[in-house]
Amino acid sequence: MSGLLTQIGIILNAVSSSLNATPAATVSVFSWLTGGALCGTFASLFLYARHSLKQVLIANYTLFLLIMLVLVVVAPTSYWPLAVLLWGLGVGCGCGLAGGAVILSKIYHEAKRASAFLATDCAFSAAGFIFPSLAAAIIAVQLDWVYSYGAVGALALALWAMLFFVRFPATEADDTNAASAFSQFKSVLTPRVCLIALGVCAYLIAQTTFLTWSPNYLQHAFGVSEKVSAQAVGNYWGMSIFGLITAAIFVNKVPQRMLLMMVSVLASLITLTFVLASSVEWFLFTSYLFGFITTCIYKIAISVGSQQLVSAPAVLVTFLLFSGNVGSTIAPMLSGWVVQLFGIQSAIIMTWVGYTFVALVFGLCLLLEKRELRAHA
């Protein structure tokens, strides 16, 4: 999923050229990718409650590879064919991500679970550095942008082959006495879980807005080239790898909730710096710091959210991922609408507002948790 999403800011102009449309109008097509991920995660709320992990994942990645093959071969130049293919890829990504999260939630507990989630995000961030760089290189030599997505398909092919040889943990689907999928879903909708879900939704709106519009903002505000502006995305993901490794170590030494609030508040302050940046050099330097500090927010929040119930059923983890995918889905459309109304700088302001809201929502959740613990003490 990272390989597909993190390229958006780099390939946006190339895709808009192939569709003969403006970047502001074209960016909405990527809502079909994130919308597909949303549908895939929503389906996962019920699929993993009723079917084994191996069955779902093999079927999912088989369809994903077929759709990717069509995209690379056809290279659509019209909006709707491209939208449908991106939606199909998104469904596969959403279902696959949910499956991975369920596996981790069943294998690890408490702090080890947070470390495991952060470790997987290192791979996400590595892809966020490798694939945008690859996309920039492909566009620089004037190849079609679909080849950068085809590289993601090659990685998915290797994953698909591995599914036939690994052993999967048991889930609620293996318990013949488990409640229905809908009953399991209703049981996780507590106020604190819903606040965490709202926070991860807002986080991905803010993050996706930054990754989508920061290159275009730098080109517009400071007149730099596409290659220079693309460094904002590369810097973010490149340093995020080291930030996630650091967070994976700290999460075993510092209380998860304290760490979550610290990085959320810092994210608000750093994005305010983007709004106030007066030079491209300062913006790009801050993007290093931004990636290092803030990319751990998502997985720490999911880990904390999964601890809001005594057990962590598969439906709880997939609900939190679903909430995040809601944010990813509406972010391109919402940010494109905001940019059309208020100009491209509004995307950076929107990023700052989003991260500030995230800090407030997480703080409220942890306050409710603390009060409930005192009430039961």
CATH code, 225: 1.20.1250.20
Could you tell me if residue 42 is inside a domain? Answer: yes
Could you tell me if residue 174 is inside a domain? Answer: no
The answer to whether the pTM exceeds 0.85 is no
Q: What pLDDT is stored for residue 377 in this prediction?
A: 61
Structural domain for 45, as ranges: 2-169+179-375
Q: Looking at the chain, list the stretches that DSSP marks H as alpha helix, in order from N- to C-terminal side.
A: 2-5, 8-19, 23-26, 30-50, 53-74, 79-107, 110-140, 146-162, 181-187, 191-222, 226-229, 231-250, 256-276, 280-294, 297-306, 314-342, 345-375
pLDDT tens track for 194-238: 999 999 999 999 998 998 889 889 988 888 888 888 889 888 988
Q: What pLDDT is stored for residue 230 in this prediction?
A: 84
Q: What pLDDT is stored for residue 306 in this prediction?
A: 81
User: How far, in whole angstroms, is CA 59 from its chain's centroid?
Assistant: 22
How many domains is the chain built from?
1
What would the two tokens of residue 159 be? 């994953």
Could you tell me if residue 307 is inside a domain? Answer: yes
CA-to-CA distance for 107 and 113, rounded, in angstroms?
A: 8
Could you tell me if residue 223 is inside a domain? Answer: yes
Q: What angle do helix axes 8-19 and 79-107 make, rounded to 10 degrees?
A: 160
Could you tell me if residue 68 is inside a domain? Answer: yes
CA-to-CA distance for 124 and 119, rounded, in angstroms?
A: 9
Could you tell me if residue 217 is inside a domain? Answer: yes
Q: What pLDDT is stored for residue 92 in this prediction?
A: 93
Low-confidence residues in the chain, pLDDT < 50: none
